[in-house]
Amino acid sequence: MARRVGIEVSLAVSEAVRVCDVDVISAYPITPQTHIVEKLSEMVAEGELDAEFIMVESEQTAMAACCGASATGARCFTSTASQGLQLMSEIVFITSAMRLPIVMAVANRALSGPLNIWGDHSDVMANRDCGWIQIFVENGQEAHDNIFVAFRAAEDPRVILPVMVNLDGFSLTHVIEPIILLDKEDLGDYLPPYKPVVRLDPANPVSMGPASTPGMYTEAKKALEDKLRGSKKVLEEAWSDFGKRFGRHYRAIETYKTDDADTILITMGGLSGSAQAAVDQMRAKGEKAGLVKIRLFRPFPLDDFLEAVRNARILAVCDRAISTGGMGGPVYVEIKAALYGRPDAPYVAGFIYGLGGRDVRVNDFEKIVQKARVQANTEIPQPYEIIGLKE
Amino acid sequence: MTMNPNLDVYAARMLPEEEYFAPGHRACLGCGPVITLKLVMKALGPRTIVSEATGCMEIVSSTYPQTAWGVPWIHVAFETAASVAAGVEAGIKALQRKGRYPDSGRITIIAIAGDGGTADIGIQALSGALERGHDFIYLCYDNEAYMNTGVQRSSQTPYGSWTTTSPFGAKSIGQKTRKKNMPSIAAAHNIPYVATACPSYPFDLFEKVRKAKAIIGPKYLHIYSPCPTGWRIEPNQTIQIGRLAVESNIFPLYEVENGVWRLTHKPQNPRPVSEYLRAQRRFSHLSEDDLAAIQRMTDDDYQKLLNMEKATQPSAVKTASPKKATAKIARSSGKGGRK
């Protein structure tokens, strides 16, 4: 039966993978992801998980081996971070195009250089357009729960796409939290065995991953785009069923005190908790602040987002990645594009924070809200601002 | 030049008629790798899964919506033939154990890549898969350059050869380096079977593929596959050039079975390498001195192989303890080196 335990978040991810009864795990060590796969290899060694564990020689091979295994109809899991995600990036894009429903936990970490092992979202943002479903979790419970959701949505015959579960490196992966762990008995038929639509099988030969000409490539990309967009409905079903069974409810966009909010903070990932505390602080002072957390980044839940911010005058978008030489952080640019040209669109201010593990405190969110308000009242819109930069 | 008529003899008609790499693909006339794959697939049969690297054989066989493959086939990227094959093997292993794979028997898994996909960009994935001991065959079809992108040099391009990125000129002989010895590198992983072959010797190739199929564990096949387009030869010379490569000891046919090296074909009167080199326009710029230098390199390499054969033959290692056997191998090979 479900039990509430104090456990490191990485290990809670491994526990979920075990309960999902994966068939093949292929991974390569990289900080801060290593605890996840260490625990999984231990589970395989102890016979607690009946899976093939391929300890490969690089992340590129980790994902390629998952592709091969997934093509046979095996349920596959891998995990990586940072440079690892960059090294496997080439294969990451192919995985979604080949419609292989692999689940990967990404312990989000800064990209070199300079080398930095701490958390931010540079790694996943460099792979933003890879065609995977991309979920960002806020705490350990969400990380654990969303592994089940990820496999369920990935393997749904209406989807058949890979899913990335993003959790902030160190500030989430390495903390111990009280987490309700599900076991196989609890899971029941929430996650049925994976039944591949096609698989590598000598009785029914298929060619997977063929070359395409200019006469077919656009259609292949459009098909992937449609499937990825269509996956939102299936994800919502998976979250809804999860809520009914286990009492924890998730949505693509979470709102906190947004109904009457004048200024709304927009966050993704583990810093959302601090932002929520900041909203409470500001509310206590009588300020109408609110928070929108983006849990589902791809496919981008546009309608849910517009609904969540429809009463706001100002949005303060917080990015944990920098788009060097660009128009601002990737989430900021995305939201500006989503709102541009819409009547009564709120003012959108962009902030970059928490790069390479730089600490972000509750008070920093108050400063962000104040800065956004100042910006909104100036005549010339400001470019994005980096929070906590040393002069 | 005139060819010895014997070099044209090609009697592959005694092999099985079934095709698993079907005609109708888009390869160039006289393509050596196509003959290689055709023969290999005849030897492996229908209970085979192919993991193929990006390259000539992938492009010509798979362009959507057509396929030349009569067996399950998967292509992911250039450097991933071995890593995808490793995943296929692990996936089937896990699913068969859990009773969730439709086939419960042993299935042959083969990774196929060209020389660039094997010796250059794919060598890390290959080494990893050999070291981890997956039950699969790795096949390198060696046509000695990146032919799919238009004849660029690889680490398998031979010394002195012209390619578009190893052009000869006032200050260059062409390719300045010697072929990286892939069969030796594979053998250094202590895998049960390594072999070289050439489709100009179809029965030798067929036997080696059959042997590889029967052995459990990683197997490495390095198959010399002439490319008329890149080697600047006529399409009807593919078989002749393969024969000349073998008969001149440029590409010796041998196998390494459980550490025992054995030449499977020893030319009684090796032909001069000049006969092989002069037949191809990629070597047409070489001087007589260059040819003499390549003759010396070829003789040295062949002698090293003979030494390995002698040093590792079972009679040389018939000692009681494995430790002593190793010592004996080391001594024998030392002697050979001083010859």
- Please write the tens of the pLDDT for every residue from A165-190: 999 999 999 999 999 999 999 999 99
Count other Cβ atoms within 10 Å, centred on residue A92.
24
Query: Residue B320: what are its φ and ψ, rounded to 5°?
Result: -65, -50
Instruction: Kindly determine whether residue A68 and residue B47, on different chains, have CB atoms separated by under 8 Å.
Output: no
Mutate to test the interface with A, among B59, B76, B213 (most CBs of A within 10 A): B76
Cα(A231)–Cα(B246) distance, rounded to whole angstroms?
57
Instruction: Kindly determine whether residue A209 and residue B62, on different chains, have CB atoms separated by under 8 Å.
Output: yes
Residue A137's alpha-carbon distances to A207, B69, B242, in angstroms, are: 36, 43, 59
Q: What is the pLDDT of residues B133-150, one digit of tens each?
A: 999 999 999 999 999 999
Residue A25 and residue A85 in one domain: yes
> Which chain B residue has the Cα nearest residue A73?
B91
Residue B2 has pLDDT above 60, yes or no: no
Residue A32 lies in a domain: yes
Question: Distance, in angstroms, between A217 CA and closest chain B CA?
Answer: 10
Q: Higher pLDDT residue, A314 or B321?
A: A314
Cα(A38)–Cα(A27) distance, rounded to whole angstroms?
10
Last residue of a domain, which of A192, A211, A246? A246
Tokens 């928070």 identify what position? A291
Q: For residue B213, what pLDDT is reported?
A: 98
Query: Residues B276, B298: contact at Cβ < 8 Å?
Result: no
Cα B47–B52–B53 angle (5° rounding)?
170
Half-sphere exposure of B295 (CA within 13 A, CB side): 14
Query: Residues B148, B114: contact at Cβ < 8 Å?
Result: yes
Nearest to B100 among A69, A193, A212 (CB): A193
Query: Residues B26, B59: contact at Cβ < 8 Å?
Result: yes
pLDDT more than 70, % of chain B:
89
Residue A211 and residue A257 in one domain: no
Residue A391 lies in a domain: no
Residue A313 and residue A365 in one domain: yes
Total number of domains constituting chain A: 2
Let me know if A113 is exposed, middle or buried by CB neighbors in 10 A (0-12, 13-18, 19+).
exposed
Q: What is the ipTM of this complex?
A: 0.97
Q: Which domain holds residue A359?
A: 253-386
Nearest to B124 among A50, A57, A207 (CB): A57
Q: For residue A163, what pLDDT is reported?
A: 98
Nearest to A64 among B73, B83, B93 (CB): B83
Query: Residues A295, A360: contact at Cβ < 8 Å?
Result: no
Q: What is the pLDDT of residues B28-70, one digit of tens each?
A: 999 999 999 999 999 999 999 999 999 999 999 999 999 999 9
Q: For residue A382, what pLDDT is reported?
A: 74
Residue A126 and residue A182 in one domain: yes
Residue A196's alpha-carbon distances to A147, A148, A228, A385, B206, in angstroms, are: 19, 18, 18, 47, 35
Q: Contacts of residue A52 in chain B, CB cutoff 8 Å?
A: 90-91, 93-94
Let me know if A286 is exposed, middle or buried by CB neighbors in 10 A (0-12, 13-18, 19+).
exposed
3-state secondary structure of B4: coil
Residue A208 and residue A289 in one domain: no
Residue A282 and residue A237 in one domain: no
Mean pLDDT, range B91-96, rounded to an integer: 98
Residue B156 has pLDDT above 50, yes or no: yes
Query: Residues A248, A145: contact at Cβ < 8 Å?
Result: yes
Residue B332 has pLDDT above 70, yes or no: no
Question: Distance, in angstroms, between B138 CA and closest chain A CA?
Answer: 15
Residue B7 has pLDDT above 90, yes or no: no
Residue A227 and residue A147 in one domain: yes
Residue A240 and residue A266 in one domain: no
Let me know if B335 is exposed, middle or buried by CB neighbors in 10 A (0-12, 13-18, 19+).
exposed
Residue B336 has pLDDT above 50, yes or no: no
Residue A199 and residue A123 in one domain: yes
Count other Cβ atoms within 10 Å, centred on residue B9.
11
Residue A194 and residue A115 in one domain: yes
> Which chain A residue has the Cα nearest residue B66?
A210
Q: For residue B329, what pLDDT is reported?
A: 42
> Which chain B residue has the Cα nearest residue A100?
B76
Sign of the torsion angle spanned by Cα atoms A167, A172, A176, A177: negative
Question: Distance, in angstroms, between B161 CA and closest chain A CA?
Answer: 30
Residue A195 and residue A81 in one domain: yes
Q: Higher pLDDT residue, A72 or B15?
A: A72
Residue B324 has pLDDT above 50, yes or no: no
Per DSSP, what are the bridge partners of residue A4? A180
Residue A358 lies in a domain: yes
Residue B328 has pLDDT above 60, yes or no: no
Domain ranges of chain B: 9-273
Last residue of a domain, which of A246, A266, A287? A246
Please list the helix, strand and coil fractions of chain B in percent, rounded to the nearest 5, in that order: 45, 15, 40
Query: Residues A70, A100: contact at Cβ < 8 Å?
Result: yes
Instruction: Kindly determine whether residue B88 and residue A71, on different chains, have CB atoms separated by under 8 Å.
Output: yes
CATH number at residue A93: 3.40.50.970
Last residue of a domain, which of A197, A218, A246? A246
| Residue A377 amino acid letter | N
Residue A53 and residue A131 in one domain: yes
Q: Contacts of residue A60 in chain B, CB cutoff 8 Å?
A: 79-80, 83, 125
Confidence bin at B15 (pLDDT 50/70/90):
confident
Q: What is the pLDDT of residues B197-225, one digit of tens each?
A: 999 999 999 999 999 999 999 999 999 99
3-state SS, B306-328, equals: HHHHHHHCHHHHCCCCHHHHHHH
B262: left (phi over 0), alpha (psi -120 to 50) or beta: beta
Q: CATH classification of B9-273, choosing from 3.30.70.100, 3.40.50.970, 3.40.50.720, 3.90.1150.10?
A: 3.40.50.970
CA Rg value for chain A: 21
Per DSSP, what are the bridge partners of residue B249? none
Q: For residue B9, what pLDDT is reported?
A: 62
pTM of this prediction? Answer: 0.94
Confidence bin at B6 (pLDDT 50/70/90):
low
Q: Contacts of residue A98 in chain B, CB cutoff 8 Å?
A: 76
Mean pLDDT, range A65-92, rounded to an integer: 98
3-state SS, chain A, equals: CCEEEEEEHHHHHHHHHHHCCCCEEEECCCCCCHHHHHHHHHHHHCCCCCCEEEECCCHHHHHHHHHHHHHCCCCEEEEECHHHHHHHHHHHHHHHHCCCCCEEEEEECCCCCCCCCCCCCHHHHHCCCCCCEEEECCCHHHHHHHHHHHHHHHHCCCCCCCEEEEEECCCCCCCEEEEEECCHHHHCCCCCCCCCCCCCCCCCCCEECCCCCHHHHHHHHHHHHHHHHHHHHHHHHHHHHHHHHHCCCCCCEEEECCCCCCEEEEECCCCHHHHHHHHHHHHHCCCCEEEEEECEEECCCHHHHHHHCCCCCEEEEEECCCCCCCCCCHHHHHHHHHHCCCCCCCEEEEEECCHHHCCCCHHHHHHHHHHHHHHHCCCCCCCCEECCCCC
CATH number at residue A285: 3.40.50.920
Confidence bin at B338 (pLDDT 50/70/90):
very low
Cα(B252)–Cα(A286) distance, rounded to whole angstroms?
86
Nearest to B87 among A69, A98, A203 (CB): A69
Mean pLDDT, range A50-77, rounded to an integer: 98
Question: Mean pLDDT for chain A?
Answer: 97
| Residue A129 amino acid letter | D
Instruction: Kindly determine whether residue B94 and residue A50, on different chains, have CB atoms separated by under 8 Å.
Output: yes
